[in-house]
Chain A
């Protein structure tokens, strides 16, 4: 078996394969970055909405709660297929990558909104009362008092979620998106040894998630000491 690997390695690590793998890695990374950026933004809005006591916002709160509670409970693969079958007839030209990215955003928004919500809830009520009696409005309270005190609670589970998420994007291969997992399968189908094909993919996943974990650990430490 080793002989086979040694014979194959120069063939495997050619320019085309490397570009192919890097492109696939780019798609995995792209889905993750877009998913997390959108997830954080919409998740924050939903988390804030769920805390609001305003009556005019009540219908939006109901929708937000229904959305979060539903999408947290559907397997990601199912979300992918739902989005596929909803978007395809509406926008026939939509790319598979776009469909997968939309699915990723739907999932990450639901999960990250819960992470952010528990972070916001960790801030003691007294902090909020102090701000209210000094005439802070809701936005000022959020930006100046609540969020700065929630980061240290939000970041560890958010980072764990994002690392999990990088791996979950592999399900998009089921749709035909050529991301890392699909690329690995294709390489093996072209006749390369699975050890080489999936080995390369394994290293790529590691390269994507390890720096993120380290960065989150660094942030966590910095926020805890301040």
Chain B
């Protein structure tokens, strides 16, 4: 049974259909990357998965259990298992780095403060932010904020982690520090769904790659197939254009 199963999922902003029946499955611990041109629905797919945008059709199963996006309880249960890291980090501006990472475990998961802060400290160490516990987000660079955001997402022990263009808002020289952090997550049994334009990175870490175009997944396969011998002409065109850069 796949860990995450998406079946014929659709979503629309008003009359604007953004997802037109997306079907995708990922096994536990897989690293699935979504690639494709802007506006193809990659970020929307992640937003729908985590319940920020309502689906208009289709279904999503996590470990075989169907998610009811209209039901608060079902959403809570889903978000207990699934976290997302945003392009714009979305760290709480009124909290220190330590508080950002430890608040959900303490206030939402009701874990003892000392234990949660100890774990938060370990996570911050892991993402290379051990010396910034008391800093506020606005005092940090984009890359640093993004690493804190990853630590914050990990602090809730997600089984599935969604990464939405996490390096797109960063200065080029900051991109690698964040990619390095993501690399450390690939062997921990967390299912990663990544939207990224960093093709070399996608190719290196993904177990499978999904090519999206106009709200659909047009090709899904191993990075070797997608990048070297795609079956679809559209995939080949996109990949060759991007790799030439």
Instruction: Among B86, B91, B108, point to the contact of A135 (Cβ < 8 A).
Output: B108
Is the Cβ of A134 less than 8 Å from the Cβ of B94? Answer: no
List residues of chain A with CB within 8 A of the CB of B92: 127, 130-131, 144-145
Contact B94 A130 (CB under 8 A): no
With contacts A130-B86, A133-B52 known, is A149 near B93, CB below 8 A? yes
Interface string of B116-156 (1 = CB under 8 A from A): 00000000000000000000000000000000000010001
- Check B83 against A133 for contact (C-beta < 8 Å): yes
How close is B138's CB to chain A, nearest CB, in angstroms? 11
Contact between A149 and B79, CB atoms less than 8 A apart: no
Check if B107 sits within 8 Å of A133, measured CB to CB: no
CB pair A134–B86 under 8 Å, yes or no, is: no
Query: CA of A132 to CA of B108 in the docked complex: distance in angstroms?
Result: 11
The answer to whether A129 touches B107 (Cβ under 8 A) is no
Residue B218 interfacial (CB < 8 Å): no
Q: List 24 A-B contacts (CB under 8 A).
A: A126-B90, A127-B93, A129-B86, A129-B90, A130-B86, A130-B90, A130-B91, A131-B92, A132-B51, A133-B50, A133-B52, A133-B79, A133-B83, A133-B84, A134-B104, A134-B152, A134-B156, A135-B80, A136-B107, A136-B108, A140-B107, A145-B92, A145-B94, A149-B93
What string of 1s and 0s marks CB contacts (under 8 Å) between B64-108 and chain A?
Answer: 000000000000100110011010101111100000000110011
Does A26 touch B at the CB level, under 8 Å? no
Instruction: Tell whether, in the assembled complex, residue A126 and residue B88 are in contact, meaning their CB atoms are under 8 Å apart.
Output: yes
Contacts of A127 in B (CB 8 A): 90, 92-93
**How far is B90's CA from A136's CA once the two chains are assembled, in angstroms?**
14
Q: Across the interface, which residues of B come within 8 angstroms of A136, CB to CB?
A: 104, 107-108
Expressed in whole angstroms, the Cα–Cα distance for A28 and B79 within the complex equals 52
A135-B94 CB under 8 A given contacts A126-B88, A129-B52, A129-B86: no
Of chain B, the residue at the smallest CB distance from A123 is B93
Residue-wise, chain A 109-150 has the 8 Å CB interface mask toward B (1 for contact) of 000000000000000001101111111100010001100110
Check A134 against B79 for contact (C-beta < 8 Å).
yes
**Residue in A140, A145, A148 whose CB lies within 8 Å of B108:** A140
CA distance A115 to B156 in the complex (A): 36
Given contacts A127-B90, A133-B52, 11 further A-B contacts (CB under 8 A): A126-B86, A126-B88, A130-B92, A133-B84, A135-B80, A135-B104, A135-B108, A136-B107, A144-B103, A149-B93, A149-B94
Within the assembled complex, what's the spacing in Å between the Cα atoms of A134 and B108? 8
* In the complex, chain A residues 129-179 whose Cβ is within 8 Å of any chain B Cβ: 129-136, 140, 144-145, 148-149
How far is it, in angstroms, between the C-alpha of A28 and the C-alpha of B108 when the chains are bound?
A: 45
Given A129-B52, A133-B79, also A148-B88 (CB < 8 A): no
**Across the two chains, which residue of chain A brings its CB closest to B104?**
A134
Q: How near does chain A come to B161, taking the closest CB pair, in angstroms?
A: 11
Given the complex of chains A and B, what is the CA–CA distance between A144 and B152 in angstroms? Answer: 16
Over the window 61-94 of chain A, the binary record of Cβ atoms lying under 8 Å from chain B Cβ atoms (1 yes, 0 no) is 0000000000000000000000000000000000
Q: Which residues of A contact B103 (CB under 8 A)?
A: 134, 144
CA distance A144 to B104 in the complex (A): 11
Chain B residue at smallest Cβ distance from A149: B94
A126: B residues at CB distance < 8 A:
86, 88, 90
Q: Which residues of B contact A135 (CB under 8 A)?
A: 76, 79-80, 104, 108, 156
Separation of A135 and B88 alpha carbons in the complex (Å): 19
